[in-house]
Amino acid sequence: MNGWTWHTPWGRALSGAVGVTALYAGARLGGPRNRVLWTCAVLPDIALLYGAASAPTFDPLPPYAVRPYNVLHSPGVPLALFGAARTLGSRRLTVAACGWLAHIAVDRAFGYGPRARDGSRL
């Protein structure tokens, strides 16, 4: 499997460490009650709510919600936010990236990664 793995104990431990570190860094930069941090820490799951509109469960996710879910749970999103933060010198974007990365990493630590086309877990 390409990319960030969550299928092994080592991958899950690494994901957990990344998640805790990103959340800690975001709290240090923006403060522990920072709205940007916590909004971005839960925002990727808006795709689950989008899918839940027509399905009683999140597993499998309805096929129409798979692409938004996978995009929002891609490490590319916080990477783009970190890049924009660096380019613009924005502390808020850095805090947002930390929150987003923490969400993805914690999900992967608990075994939640990208979804297959049919909405099932890979």
Question: Is 59 a residue whose pLDDT tops 90?
Answer: no
**Over residues 83-110, mean pLDDT:** 97
**Residue 8 pLDDT grade (very low, low, confident, very high; cuts 50, 70, 90):** confident
58 pLDDT higher than 70? no
Q: Determine the average pLDDT of the residues in 68-77.
A: 95
For residue 51, is pLDDT > 80?
no
Domain-wise residue ranges, the chain: 9-109
Closest CA to 65 of 74, 53, 77, 56: 53
Q: Nearest-CA neighbor of 29 among 100, 105, 93?
A: 93
Residues in the chain: 122
**CB 103 within 8 Å of CB 44:** yes
By the 8 A CB rule, do 95 and 36 touch?
A: yes
**pLDDT for res 1:** 44
Q: pLDDT: is 50 or 109 the higher one?
A: 109
Q: What is the pLDDT of residue 4?
A: 63
pLDDT in tens, 76-93: 999 999 999 999 999 999
Q: Indicate if the pLDDT at residue 26 is higher than 80.
A: yes
Global pTM reads: 0.90
